A and B are shown apart, each in its own frame.
Chain A
Amino acid sequence: MPPSNAAPIIEIDGISKSFGAFKVLNDLSFSVAPGEKLALIGPSGSGKTTILRILMTLEGIDSGTIRVAGDNLYQMERNGKLQQADEAHLHKMREKIGMVFQLFNLFPHKCVLDNVTLAPMLTKGVARKDAEQHAMELLDMVGLADKAKSMPSQLSGGQKQRVAIARALALKPKIMLFDEVTSALDPELVEEVLNVLWRLCRETDMTMLLVTHEMGFAHDFADRVLFFDRGRIVEDGKPDEIFRNPKQERTQAFLKKIIAAGHRI
């Protein structure tokens, strides 16, 4: 757990986002300390995935500001005036952030090793030899060094997701975003992915934001849990407080439903 007086690495201030008439995020604010492991939980459509997508710049925001490592994500200063961030600014900001998707999104035309080395070589100019060496270390860490030359289509879902994690780590981000990374997996494959997340959680000082329906894992993994509902944060606290003793009625109702559905906490 990092010292709580450190300057936040993510500061979200009053952001709103609508898709058509549907308001996904409604004047949302929170901040994240460097190294903090955060779990975002809540019913589907509550806005938790949208937050990750906005941080990865896959979606824009309608209003509000976001700062990442002190820099404004969607705006930049030019001649003393704030203006819409251009592609170069977004490119610089994305260097700090990595993301793992629910459906893996591996590049199907490239082998496992190339999936991991592609971005460091193209975006940071890393030499192939160094990129491959680093990639092999990462693949070893996720337990897939022997699959380096396999194509993604030859892997199981759990293996694909572990490659996707290695691919995101290859860019050495300060912040990692995990968007329901086990939701698309067969139940027997969930564990192997969670084990990798667990290792990252204990062994690195990366800031991690995890959107998940695995409540048991969220409880063990997170320093802090945010419960989302209808585009707002309803409850924000330590895992024990949220899971054992939720204060808000909406949180209680949600957790009851999840337990009834057979998820362990």
Chain B
Amino acid sequence: MEWDWAFVVQILPTLIEGVKITIIATLLGSVLAAIVGLVIAIVRRSKNRLISMPMGFVAEFIRGTPLLVQLYFIFYVLPDLGITLSPLVAGVIGLGLHYGTYTAEVYRAGIDNVARGQWEAAKACNLSPLQTWTQIIMPQALPPMIPALANYFIAMFKETPLLSAITVLELMNQARSIANYNYRYIEPITMVGAFFLVISIVSVIGLRWLERRYGKID
């Protein structure tokens, strides 16, 4: 088996199409995970146990089951209930929900780290609960948690090949179909690894920068 540069050049455009889908799925999944995590974290803080307990159960359930099973469920089982989603939408929802349960823990720690006196000062300043969250608590809680959130988003990026199981034409799926069609695996699959490595390295450099920028506030 020999490495064939001509073949690499020939399949590159198709692989780049796959990279685009991978990046789109990661970005949309990250946004969804960031929002889902915040909602879970805030709802779980509710003093009303009838609200906080079921949310806790749902979050533990999602975190305790494999992403692949969840993707199958969203894409192949939900249509039986009348909910049909495109592969990419199903994939983004799967990534967002799954990683949302992880980011929820990051939010929880970040929110708990804001001093109790800040809540009290906000009350003494007569701020409403919404103003307290948006003006006082989150601006202090968010910067220290940015590196941890970014870490999860890089982890999510590396899990996007799972979306190939629900027919999303992301990088891995494109490479596999090229390989199956041409009976050549070495170039497409090596290229997949190379793409992931390059994007991961760039992301990690970005992450280090975020850690320096936001890792500590006084």
- List A residues at the B interface (Cβ < 8 Å): 56-58, 87, 91, 94-95, 97-99, 101, 103, 105-109, 118-119, 122-123, 153, 167-168, 171
Contact = CB atoms under 8 A, between A and B. Distances in A.
B121 A109 contact: no
Contacts, number: 61
The 5 closest A-B CB pairs, nearest first, are: A105-B121, A119-B125, A105-B117, A99-B124, A94-B126
Interface of B: 115, 117-118, 120-121, 123-129, 131, 135-136, 139-140, 217-218
A123 B118 contact: no
Q: Which of A56, A103, A105, A153 has the most CB of B within 10 A?
A: A105
Tell me what chain B mostly uses at the interface: helix, strand, loop, or mixed.
Answer: helix
Contacts of B120: 56, 58, 101, 105
A34 B60 CA distance: 55
Contacts of A56: 120, 123-124
Contacts of B217: 108-109
B135 A106 contact: no
Contact of A103 (B117, B125, B131, B135): B117
A9 to B, nearest CB: 18
Contacts of B125: 118-119, 123, 167-168, 171
A105 B106 CA distance: 24
A118 B135 contact: yes
15 contacts: A58-B123, A98-B124, A99-B124, A101-B121, A101-B124, A105-B115, A105-B118, A107-B118, A108-B218, A109-B140, A109-B217, A122-B135, A123-B125, A123-B128, A171-B125
Nearest to B120: A58
A171 B123 CA distance: 12
B1 to A, nearest CB: 58
B121 A95 contact: no
Contacts of B124: 56, 58, 94, 97-99, 101, 105, 168
B117 A87 contact: no
A65 B115 CA distance: 30
A99 B125 CA distance: 8
Contacts of A123: 125-128, 131
A105 B126 CA distance: 14
Nearest to A167: B125
Nearest to A95: B126
Nearest to A106: B121
B218 A153 contact: yes
A109 B126 contact: no
A52 to B, nearest CB: 10
Given A107-B118, A108-B218, A153-B218, A119 B126 contact: yes
A91 B131 CA distance: 13
A94 B121 contact: no
A107 B126 contact: no
A153 to B, nearest CB: 5
A171 B124 CA distance: 10
A91 B140 contact: no
